Amino acid sequence: MISRAQLLAGPGYITFKTASWRMASDLKVMLKWTAQDVTDALKGPFTKVVTDRWIEVTGTPLYYDPTTTNGIFFPYISLASTPPGTQIFGAADSACSIVGNDGKTITLAAAAITSMPSLHLGTDRAIYGPITIIGVPATGTDPSTATSFYQATANWLSNSFTPPAIPATATLARQKWSAVYGADTGWSSFQAFKGFEISHELKLKWHEDNGQRVGATLAGYRAMCKCQPSANTIDQMATEMLFAGTAGVGGHLVASQGQRYSANSADLIISGASSGTVTLKNATMESGEINFSAEELNQGEVTFITNVGDSSGANVASLLLA
């Protein structure tokens, strides 16, 4: 029989980029690697060799905080401030600590966010989706060094624990949200049956040294929004999704083949009933559905996607959070 002292459990929080935040779900730290088969002509694959190693941290933040944590959670939403080619781990290492409620701590030597949280703008669940943080070897270190990836507290059961404070600007942000998109009838003010889902099209390029990932650069970013409009008529849906003819801002592939999305774009501005504004800049309606069903509502799901760049060709923000 094992000693009950060996039954270790407990939640924790993350400290990263000068902020600590509480979680809506459990944190998970995974030591991961890739391996290649070694093949013998007589036996086939008979073993593997490790080629790359990294640490992956996943969890779901709880509080929506436009002042403190949003700038940390969403580092790539503006190509004006973080242009393509930016080294996401930076020239200097950024440590990330996972602190358990009994004081046990794992600190990643060099960390960066590689998957930003999605946003659910509605009343029925938490506003943030999961976040992913990746740890690589500290800059300039041999990955075979004991502390090149992370350090753990020596005695996990004898450390103090102080829960992170909740920032004064933090909210749950569970509320009704309404949207404005252009000036067309039915779209200049509308809501969504199941809220608005904001996701990210993030492209990263990983860079390796002798097979070991050591960093990544930003290759591109666009924001997307999906929703099921609640008050739009079939005519209003169809008008906005015309394949031909003249339509207002945001029509789906309006006028002709070969037309660029940004020729029919507008800001999609989604505002909370109490607080908060999420803006998809230069957004185009990319797809839409009209249902004819006894069970499904006529108003189907529509998708918006941002266009990067303005008329001058300069990089601009794709997503604004306030």
How do the pLDDT tens digits run along the chain, 322 residues long? 777 767 677 788 999 998 999 999 889 999 999 999 999 999 899 999 999 999 999 999 999 998 888 999 999 999 888 999 999 999 999 999 999 887 888 999 999 999 999 999 999 888 999 999 999 999 999 998 989 999 988 666 666 778 888 888 888 899 999 999 988 778 889 999 999 999 999 999 999 999 999 999 999 999 999 999 987 887 777 777 665 445 454 444 444 567 777 777 889 999 999 999 999 998 988 888 888 888 888 788 999 999 876 555 667 789 999 9
- Specify whether domain 4-152 bears CATH 2.40.30: yes
Other Cβ atoms less than 10 A from the Cβ of 72: the count is 17
Computed on alpha carbons and rounded to an integer, the radius of gyration of the chain in Å comes to: 23
- Which residue do the tokens 């015309």 mark? 242
- Residue among 71, 95, 9, 64 nearest 274 (CA): 64
Using a cut of 0.95, tell me whether the model's pTM lies above it. no
Q: Where are the domains of the chain?
A: 4-152, 177-321
